[in-house]
Structure 1
C-alpha cells in the first residue's frame, strides 16, 4: 500500500473493465518477454547468491542504482540514510537513489527496464507487486543471502517479514511498513455524549456512534464517518474477520491464486453498510482520493476515518491545538476482534536484481539492505517518517523510547500487530494480478456507493476479475 507521513498524494481514479484489460495485456506482454528468455537478448549475470567477499574483492568503486518511490519527507529521510551508508563505505560502495514516482509508476518503469535490459541494482516495490516480482525471474531472493550468512531474522517483526515470505522463502526485505487503524476525534465524541476512551470495534458500532456524531441528527460534525474508497481497507476487514481474501490460502503456499472473494458475505455486508451510511447522511463519499478523506478528517468535517499508521504523524500535527486525536485497532465486520486476529501490513520492500548485474553489485546491495533494516536505521526511519520499524530491536533504543513517549498513539499499532498471529488470513493475498484485484474491489465499492445493489456489484467484479487472474496464471505456467 502507498502510505506516507504527509497527507497522501491522490491515488488513481476509477477504472473501467477496458482499462483493467489493457493493464493486464501490458503485464502479460512484459511477462512473455521475461519468461520466453529472448535467447540472444537475455542480459548477462545470474540469479545465484554471490560469494560473501564479492564486493570487497571488486576493484574500484561499486555503484548501486536504487530505484524508489519515497518523496517529500520520506524521500528526505531515505536520502539521509543513503548518505550515511555512502560515507561509511566511501571508495568501496556508492548508492545512487533515484525517485521513480509513485508505486504504480515505479513498477511500470521497472517492467520497461526489464525489456530494455536496464534494471536497477535494487528496487523498492509495493506490497501487492510481490508475486509479479517473483514471476519476473529477475531477482535474487533475500532468503539466499540469509541462508549463506546465517543472518538472524528473529529481530524482524514476524508479521511484516511474513508478508514477503511465500512458500517459506523470504523474497524481499521490508523497508516501509504500516498497518491500518481507526482514527477518531475525541473532542467530537465528548460533544456527542460518547465515551472518548471507548471507540467502536465493528461496523455496527461505527454506525451507532456516527448517528450521534452527524449533523443530520444534531451532532457536532457534518458526518460521523468518512474514508477513501480504497481496496486495502476491504482486504483488512477480511483479515480482521479471519477470512481468506484469495483462494487457495491467500497464495501463501506456493500455489497460484485462482479466485478472489470479492463476493464474500463479509464484503457484501460491508458494501451494504457503507452504502446505507452515505444514504442516511452519516458518512461522506470522498471517492478514491486518499487525500480528500484525510483532509475531511483533519478539518473536522468527519469524526472517524480509516487510515494507516503512515498518516499518524501527519494527523497528530494537524490535530495539535485543534482537537484531541484518538486511534484504535482496525474494526471487524461484526462482533469483536478475536484473539490472534488482526490486519495485514502494507507498504513496500527491497528487491535485489540478479540478471544484468555483477556479483559485486549484488553483494553491495545486500550490504545496503542490511544497513537499512538495522535497529539504528529503522529507529531513524520510524521517527522521521512514521512508518513501522521493521526491526523490533529499534524499539529498545533511547530515541525510540523517547518518540513513543511523545507519541503514545503509535503504541496502538504496535500492540495490534504484535497481537496478530501469523497465518494466511493475516498476511494478505499474494497474486500476480493483485493490483488489478484491488482496483476491481474499489470499482465494486464505488458502484455500491452510487446506488447499485452491493451483491450484484461484487458478483460482477468477481466474474470480471476471474478472467484477469486466469490469463495471468496461464502466462506464467
Structure 2
C-alpha cells in the first residue's frame, strides 16, 4: 500500500501561507464559531442528522479502507450524525484547498493535514485544539502512541489527532543477503555497516558494469530529518521550534554533511544506485532486485511485499554512527477539527467521529488494510492487525522501532511554518552535492542561508 506523499512546495512563497488570512497568529475564533470544545449536549434537540464534511488525501486502497470506516460510523449513528468523506488530492493540494476555504469562510468540519503543515494550522487560528476535546471529556490518550503525541503536542497542548502516520525503515532483499553470505535477520544498523554489507551485495558483470547495487534510496528530505533525530540533532533552532519560533534550520550540521559525503562515496564507488529524488524510481529499483537495500516508509511495506519476487525483510532505520542515541520521528498526517464558521453541534459530531477513528477496533482495521501505524497501540491486538502480523511479521518492525524510541525535543520534529520548503531545500542541496563538484558542506550551508530568508518572511507574516 503506498502512502500519499508530497514532493512539491506548499505555495510559491513562504509568507503567502498566511498573508491574506486575517486570523493568522490569532488565538480567538472570530465570528461564527468557537475554538472551545463543546460538550455532548450540543447534539441534543437536532431535527435530523448533523452533517460532517471530512476532507482527506486518501485514495486507492487507503481511500477504500477509510470509506469503510466512514460507512461503519454512519451506520452506528444513523439519524444522528452523517459523515461525508471528500478526497481533495495529495497532501499539498488538500492544504491549498483548505487555505482557500479559510479565505472564503467555507472550511470543512474535519481536514486531514500532513505533518509539515502543523505550524501553519496552528497559526491559521481556525481549529479547536485537540487538547480542548481531551480536557472537556477527560479523554484517555494513554493508548495513543507516545511518539505521535510528542510530535503533535506544541506548547504543552495536543493540537491535532494523529491518524495516518508512518516511520521510515530499512528494507532488504533477504534472498540477496543469503546469496552474499549475510544474515538476513540482521540488517545493517549504521552507515558503516551499510557500506560493509553493500560491498558483499553488489554484483558486477563483465566490464565492471553493476548488475545489482548493494544499496539504493531516494534523495528524500524526510530521511535527513530522521537521521538528525536519531543522532540527537535538532532540525531547527529554539528547541526544534517548540521553545520559540524557529529562526533557522540546522541541516548544515556536521552529521548531515557526513551523511551526504557518505552517500556520495557510495555512488562513486558503485555500491549505491544513483536514484535522485524520484521516490517511484527508488521503489522500483528495490522491487526489481536492482538494489538489495533501501530506505522507505512503512507505507511502502504492502507494495514491496506484493511486487517483489524475493523475500522482503525490514529493520530499523539506520544510524549515522553506531553510538548515536537513536529515536524516531513520524510522518503522515493528523486530523484537525475546524471550529470557526461551524456550529457547536457540527464540532461535537466531528469529535465523535474522530474518537471512532481512534478506537482500537478502527485502528486494527486501518493498520491491517493500509500498513500505516496503529495510532492506538491497542489496535495491534485487534483481529485484523493480528492476522496481518502473523502473515507478515515485517509489519511489527515499525511499531517496535517507535516503542524503543525516546520522546524528546529531537524526536518531536521541527515545528516551522515553512517545513515543506525546508524539506525541498534540503533535497536540492543534497542532490547538488551528489551531481556537481560542490562540496557537501558548501551546498548545505548555502541552502541553510537561503531558507533563513523564507523563515523570516513567514514569521513576519504571522506577527
Tell me which interval the TM-score lies in, with the shorter structure as reference length.
over 0.9
Shifted more, 208-217 versus 121-130: the winner is: 208-217
In 2, distance between residues paired with 1:380 and 1:268?
41
Check conservation: 1:11, 1:289, Cα contact below 8 A. Answer: no
Equivalent residue in structure 1 for 2:23, among 31, 34, 41: 34
Q: Which residue of 1 aligns with 2:262?
A: 273
**Partners of 1:178 and 1:347 within 8 A in 2:** yes
Q: Does 1:357 align with 2:357?
A: no
C-alpha distance in structure 2 between counterparts of 1:141 and 1:10, whole Å: 25
Report deviation, 1:309: 0.9
Point out where structure 2 has 5 or more consecutive residues left out of the alignment: none
Report the counterpart of residue 372 of structure 2 in structure 1: 387
1:221·1:300 contact (CA, 8 Å) conserved in 2? Answer: no
Of 433, 448, 452, the match for 1:462: 448
Pairwise mapping of residues 52-63 of structure 1 onto structure 2 (< 5 A)? 52-63=40-51
1:472 matched residue in structure 2: 458
Count of matched residue positions in the alignment of Structure 1 and Structure 2? 459
Structure-to-structure mapping, 1:388-427, within 5 angstroms: 388-427=373-412
Correspondent of 1:99 among 76, 87, 98: 87
User: Quick one: which of 129, 132, 135 aligns to 1:141?
Assistant: 129
Indicate the larger mover: 276-285 or 60-69. Answer: 276-285
1:238 and 2:228 correspond: yes
User: Whole-Å Cα distance in 2 between the matches of residues 323 and 45 of structure 1?
Assistant: 55
Is the Cα contact below 8 Å between 1:258 and 1:469 reproduced in 2?
Answer: yes
Which residue of the partner structure matches residue 12 of structure 1? 7
Contact 2:191 2:319 (8 Å CA) reproduced = yes
Distance 1:468 1:177 in 2: 27
1:94 positional shift: 0.8
Q: CA deviation at 1:30?
A: 4.0
Give the Cα separation in 1 of the matches to 2:358 and 2:457: 36
User: Is 1:66–1:120's contact at 8 Å kept on the other side of the alignment?
Assistant: yes
Q: Secondary structure at the match of 2:40?
A: coil
Q: For 1:62 and 1:132, locate their aligned partners in 2 and report how far apart those are by CA, in whole Å.
A: 28
Q: Distance in 1 between matches of 2:431 and 2:411?
A: 25
Q: Which secondary structure state, in structure 2, belongs to the residue aligned with residue 66 of structure 1?
A: strand
Give the direction of change, closer, same or farther, for the CA distance of 1:43–1:98 in structure 2 (3 Å limit).
Answer: farther
Superposed counterparts of 1:158-169, under 5 Å: 158-169=146-157
- The equivalent residue for 2:72 is 84
Aligned in 2, Cα 1:220/1:246: closer, same or farther, shift over 3 Å?
Answer: same
CA contact (8 A) 2:15 2:454 kept: no
SS at match of 1:123: strand
1:326: Cα distance to partner? Answer: 1.1
Q: Do residues 64 (structure 1) and 52 (structure 2) align?
A: yes
Cα distance, 1:105 vs. partner? 0.8
Match of 2:249 among 260, 275, 291: 260
Give SS of 1:174's match: strand
Of 184, 188, 207, which residue of structure 2 is paired with 1:200?
A: 188
Deviation at 1:9, TM superposition (A): 6.6
Shift of 1:420: 0.7
Give the structure 2 partner of residue 441 of structure 1: 426
- 3-state DSSP of counterpart to 1:455: helix
Determine if the alignment matches structure 1 residue 225 to structure 2 residue 248.
no
Q: Which runs of 5+ in 1 are unaligned?
A: none
Whole-angstrom CA distance in 1 between matches of 2:94 and 2:380: 31
Distance 2:454 2:204 in 1: 42
Matched residue SS, 1:29: coil
Distance 1:30 1:418, change over 3 A: farther
- CA deviation map 1:198-242 (0-9, x unaligned): 221111211121122223487995211111111000000011111
CA contact (8 A) 2:6 2:92 kept: no
Cα distance change of structure 1 residues 265 and 133 upon mapping to structure 2, 3 Å threshold = same
Please give the alpha-carbon distance, in whole angstroms, between the structure 1 residues aligned to 2:17 and 2:62.
Answer: 29
- Within 5 Å, give how 1:301-312 maps onto structure 2: 301-312=290-301
1:376 alignment partner, one of 358, 361, 371:
361
Counterpart residue number, 2:13: 23
Secondary structure of residue in 1 paired with 2:336: strand
**Please, which of 273, 280, 289 is the counterpart of residue 300 of structure 1?**
289
What CA distance in whole angstroms lies between the structure 1 residues aligned with 2:341 and 2:6? 33
Q: Which TM-score applies when normalising by structure 2?
A: 0.95
Q: 1:186 corresponds to which residue?
A: 174
Q: Match of 1:128? A: 116
CA–CA distance in structure 1, aligned partners of residues 337 and 371 of structure 2: 25
Alignment RMSD (CA, Å): 2.1
How far apart in 2 are the matches of 1:10 and 1:355? Answer: 28
TM-score normalised to structure 1 length: 0.92
Counterpart CA distance in 2 for 1:9 and 1:42 is 33
Distance 2:20 2:211 in 1: 49
How many angstroms apart in 1 are the aligned matches of 2:211 and 2:249? 37
Deviations 1:347-387 (A, max 9, x none): 10000001110101100000000000000000000000010
- In the other structure, the counterpart of 1:324 is 311
